[in-house]
Amino acid sequence: MKILLAFVLSGAATALAQAPLLVPLHEQKGWQVLQYSNLPPHRVNFSPAGLQMTVEASAMPVIYPLRSPMRVAAVRVQGRVDGSLRLPALRQGEPKFDDYVFRLGLVASGERKLNFVQRQVAPSWVRTLFALAPEGSGISRIQFFNVGADSAAIGRERQHPLSELIFERVVAVPRPDGRFDFEHRLALPLDAVAVWLSSDGDDSGSSYAVQVERIELIGR
């Protein structure tokens, strides 16, 4: 009887851990809509249709801290792009062409922390990143899943050349009608403490709008 009960409780705990988390996109409550000091911000709007970012040669982070860390094994995303980037698709990611219509980032917990001196000199986005860590812990990286401009780039990975904290993988491209709909399973689950959204047009001087309709985090 005890063995059976333990098995049932274990199964219930596993089912609970695997329940997808639907990230709320219909209202700003719980989100941090931030700005970079040297770049113009987007226009951001939350509505029943989702989160819309209107990009006008701009860039900014939009962050949703999770209430508690979550072991994430996969992500599901649905959305739409109205407009496009003004850059050669095959050069996307290179210096001066480092714009993507949508990046979904998972902020992963870790052991890395900022010391006093680093906190004084670090860019504001780096201080914001480390402030997302639960008390007593640190951050390891932001793992981004990018919507690229050319299907030939799907599967391409890199550590961002401007920061050892940023890792990226191109996982999808928009369809001809601008819609993107993907599910990506991580090679190794990570412990996420926040969702970090990014769309940018500052390198290419691009103007477009992104409607993010659904984001699901799927537990291990």
Q: What is the CATH number of the domain that holds 181?
A: 2.60.120
Q: How far apart are CA 25 and CA 48, in angstroms?
A: 8
- How many domains does the chain fold into? 1
- pLDDT of amino acid 91: 95
- Point out which residues pair with 138 in neighbouring strands: 110
Phi-psi category of residue 77: left, alpha or beta, with phi > 0 → left and psi -120 to 50 → alpha: beta
Question: Quick count: other Cβ atoms within 10 Å of Cβ 146?
Answer: 24
Q: Per DSSP, what are the bridge partners of residue 196?
A: 63, 105
Compute the distance between CA of residue 132 and CA of residue 63 in angstroms, rounded to an integer: 10
Residue 118 structural domain: 2-219
Instruction: Profile the chain (220 residues) by mean pLDDT over runs of 10 residues.
Output: 42 56 97 94 98 98 96 98 96 96 98 92 93 93 98 96 96 98 97 98 97 96
For the chain, give the number of residues. Answer: 220
Q: What's the pLDDT score for residue 220?
A: 83
